[in-house]
Structure 1
Amino acid sequence: MSEKRIYRLVHLEARRRAAQDCMNARDGDIATISEPTRTLDQNAAQWPILDAFAKQKQLMVNGKMEYVTDMEWKDVLTAAFNEELNRVAHWKGRMVLLGQRTSKFGKAKFSDWLEFLHAAAAEEGVVVYPNDAPREVVDVETGEITGVAA
């Protein structure tokens, strides 16, 4: 087998074909079974929350409080989500915070991430959706947008 094959294991025939390819694979070939990664709707759902943090909360940067970007908040909050501080020493001895790539999260972990973001926003008093603006309703289990709330 020279090309990469991907099977979505949602029915018996897909499972049969995947099993057959495994049985016919050369010694040393690699087979991987993994949870699907997060959906585009799940990905989109995180940005209003991260944007709200960027506009409403400051972080200590080089000894002073500053507003940082949504991407920088993502780094900070993904480290907090995993309850670890991923740091790398800068060449001048300063510390740099490393976040995680949420694009690598499976659907279930991304659902937990979205729930964490909503809880963190509520705990920090960050208003994600002002009362007068419509907002998307997201199913926390699937991350899918299920409607719009007033």
Structure 2
Amino acid sequence: MVAHTLKLSHDGIRARAHTWVEAAPEGMVIQFKEPTRSLDQNAKLWAMLGDVAKQAEHNGNRYTPEVWKALFMSACGYELNLLVGLNGEPVPMGTSSSKLSVGKMSELIEFISFWCVENGVTLSDRGF
């Protein structure tokens, strides 16, 4: 069976969802979840991470935006493991920010903003 996804955005979609629930066979699994982060949130996150990478150090080291993302995700309580890469480099593996809900992504962005203020990182205004 093909999986179907509906975004509850108006009464017509809600009515369709109700119809599908009524017609669903016994044993069908229905999942409700919050929408994932928006493209604007993603763009803002990467702009912020770029600013941090250019201006900040951690334990005397400068890091790429990808590593800073892993550090911030870990600081916010998201599971993170560091693997040893094929060339001996650390490779962060853990929760993907693309899987975060809009609310959780807002919390991550807010945490990074506060961290930047506390650590003297100036965030560029890129239209957000």
| Same fold? TM cut 0.5 | yes
Per the shorter chain, which TM-score range?
A: 0.7 to 0.9
- Measured in 1, the distance between the counterparts of 2:96 and 2:15 equals 33
Report the residue type matching 2:22 in the other structure. M
Greater helix proportion? 2
* Cα distance change, pair 76–13 in 1 and its aligned pair in 2 (3 A): same
Partner of residue 107 from structure 1, selected from 102, 105, 115: 102
Corresponding residue number in structure 2 for 1:69: 64
Q: TM-score, normalised by structure 1?
A: 0.70
- Give ranges in structure 1 of 5+ residues lacking alignment: 130-134, 139-150
What value does the CA root-mean-square deviation take over the aligned residues? Answer: 2.3
Q: How many residues align?
A: 123
Question: CA offset at residue 120 of structure 1?
Answer: 0.8
Matched, 1:40 2:39: yes
Deviations 1:56-91 (A, max 9, x none): 22234xxxx321110000000111122x6744686x
Kept in 1, the 8 Å contact 2:79–2:95? The answer is: no
Greater strand proportion? 1
Corresponding residue number in structure 2 for 1:57: 56
- Measured in 1, the distance between the counterparts of 2:34 and 2:25 equals 24
Question: CA offset at residue 52 of structure 1?
Answer: 1.7
Matched, 1:17 2:16: yes
Q: TM-score, normalised by structure 2?
A: 0.81
* Cα distance change, pair 109–73 in 1 and its aligned pair in 2 (3 A): same
Deviations 1:107-129 (A, max 9, x none): 11111211111111111111222
Higher relative contact order (CA 8 A, sep 6+): 2
Report the residue type matching 1:17 in the other structure. R
